[in-house]
Structure 1
Amino acid sequence: MANPPAGPAQRTTVDAARTARMLSDARHAMLSQQRARTATRPVIEASWERAIRGGTHPDHDLRTGVLSREEVERRRGTSPLRHVLPVLREGLVSVADAAHHIVLVADDEGRALWREGSAAVLRKADEVGIEVGTDWREDVVGTNGLGTPAVVRRPVQVFATEHLSRALAGFTCAGAPITDPRDGRLIGVVDVSGPLETMHPATLAWVDSVAKLAEARLRELHLTSIERLRAVAAPILPRLGGRALVVDRDGWTAAVTGMPYAKRIALPKSPSGGRRWMPSLGLCLLEPLAGGWLIRVVDEPAPAATRIVLDLALARRPSMTVSGGAGSWTHELSPRHAELLYLLALHRAGRSAAALAEDMFGDPGRTVTVRAEMSRVRRYLGAFLEHRPYRFSEDAEVEVLLPDDPRELLPHSTAPGVASARGSVRTP
């Protein structure tokens, strides 16, 4: 008698098992430096290469370096993700529980701060070390649904043995980055994980859509806070003479008087009241307001001997520090601004808009995009950038801190000028 045709559940189990074997063969070939019989997805292959190059081991213990409960609570209290937990829970947790998944939320440093979902899957997660406080950075754990989206800055699904870690081979994960809608900075990653056979092809799109809802909620909260601060500034600014502005605690502008509007001002790393030197404004008087700062510009010349340090040593956290006779300022850079400032440091004589467009996009015609980005950079570098051509001012000493491995210089940048410099190890 002929066997009856396989039902949907049987087909899912068979397909999942076949997929797991194929991925396992490809992963084994990669680890043994052999040619795989099955092609690996480019995003996974690139992640494997980064992890192996960085010394990540497949048998890494996930429990190594788990944060203490006190440190987890401290991070929860300061992370912007705390404002969007209701959005993430409403969009993910209830469905994940019913579908035998769990939800993990990690901060910008790859540390899992929240974990919820199916009790059965949570027990399996406990067995292998998928816990709150675990370090999910790709250069620590290898390819995974939290660390890899943080690196490539887009949603990624990692199936079973696409994970570099052997401990994660029984899980399939779909993760999406959450960025600050104000400046594009990564603030965390949300991930849905579960057994391979329970994952649906639409899971990744689902997770990404909820991450986008979280970003929209952050944008709404920002606009509400700016409107509230603008109401505080309304009776104050008209009474002041000269140039002044009111900004929130992160430097986003609520109102100005006597000067052009700037979307954001670079504040001191630890702002306090009194006379402070602001790179984009000069000498200023800072006064605290509810939810922000009143900044009044004092027209005095800039201090001499300004030093600008462009720190690219940490691939995920490029930053710029400006120091001089009136103190030191640090500003975290977006990936695009890090590329532009590196190229300007590389070409101290300056670059035209067309040349920068060629360096950035391989297309000298994209000058509108370059000019828009340089306008944003000038909002916080102000007096230290010149144009026609774009360049650092002659009286600024510029230093660039590079990673030990030249291949890690802005590793996710596809800008031709950066890729060329990366290959030739060109140091400004």
Structure 2
Amino acid sequence: MRFFTIFDIVKDKATQLGHTDSEMYASLRKLKLNKKDLLPFKESGIIPTDKKVLNGILSYLEMTKVELELKLGRIPSGFEDVFLNNTKEIAKMLEEKKSVKHEEQNHNTAIKPYFSTNLGKLYHGDCLKLFKLIPNESVDTVFADPPFNLDKEYDEGVTDKNSFSGYLNWYYNWIEECIRVLKPGGSLFIYNIPKWNTYLSEYLNRKMNFRNLITVDMKFGLPIQNRLYPANYSLLYYIKGNKPKTFNIQRIPLQTCPHCTREIKDYGGYKNKMNPNGVTLSDVWTDIYPVRHSRVKHRKFNELSVKLLDRVISMSTNEGDIVLDPFGGSGTTFAVSELLGRKWVGFELGNCEIIKERLENKETDRETLEKVYEEKNKLFPDKIKKLRKKNGLWTDEDFSSNNKCENESGDKKGGKQIELSLE
């Protein structure tokens, strides 16, 4: 379903009438509407509460309010019962109006990967075209970090500038493909700024099973005037079907003061009940940091951290499962998949050479991931544990004789920690 705003509908009407922008605004002025009256509805699907503005728009569109609400893709206010009590008749009408679909000829065999390994394939091009290569229900996890529509140029000729509704309509199109290719119980993760994920969540709630809205605590940069300081990214987590086919518990260290190593939260008399493998991961991630060091950064724009992708992939897949990323970027998803023994498929519209070079030279990513695993699935990392002992503070070893917790981390098959591979 396309996303429309009132501004879109007015522009469409102007196109039908053969009006230029100036002619459109001239017609609106005759209805006592100025350009500034229309601009608030350029990036929102809301209906004006000001009756003068609403009546002016309806007059230009030659519509009733009910028709406008239908055009915006919603059940008109006050007609909910009528709509729900006549779903069979409405469905029959829609089926009769539906145009006959002609199957497109399949040219998939002509598309060759830009680069491939024993575990994965990278394709260069538009994801909406490349999704046709992927069979229905063949992927275990999709991770997507799409462009944020912030008018950036990522590579020569590759920008993310789009209109508000154009961006959302593009978004919905590739989301439908993600849903199609996921196996029953497969996981979908979408990383974006909160603004866009609020719209997407509304859309996805009709089609998938919501699991979590994960807040990734990260400062964007400088504060924005007259707004709250933006300090987080949004990671949506949805499941295709009733329950996830794979969910491996992820554990992180107990938060401690970087100076005195005391625990930040007081667990009182429950210290002896703490799992030695760490604290269960919550839906607020405060330990993901920007990739800034030139030694580990592969492109000049923002790059996802190895730690974030390890967490997503380890949580939702087992060794040998298939991970798909339709917006390859610098290739972090593919690099982590390689090291964790996951199969993968990737698309990238921009520069694929940086991904190829990264996957051909895995040493830096292997070292980074090894550092992640130094702290993963441990209540206290070795360095912190040593300092706590020196400072006379408790560690999990003080209760080891009474605490025989089952290791819930890592992949199934014994819950063993993953052995990182360079092959």
Q: Place the TM-score, normalised by the shorter chain, in its bin.
A: under 0.3
Task: Give the TM-score taking structure 1 as reference length.
Answer: 0.22
Task: Give the TM-score taking structure 2 as reference length.
Answer: 0.22
- Higher strand proportion: 1
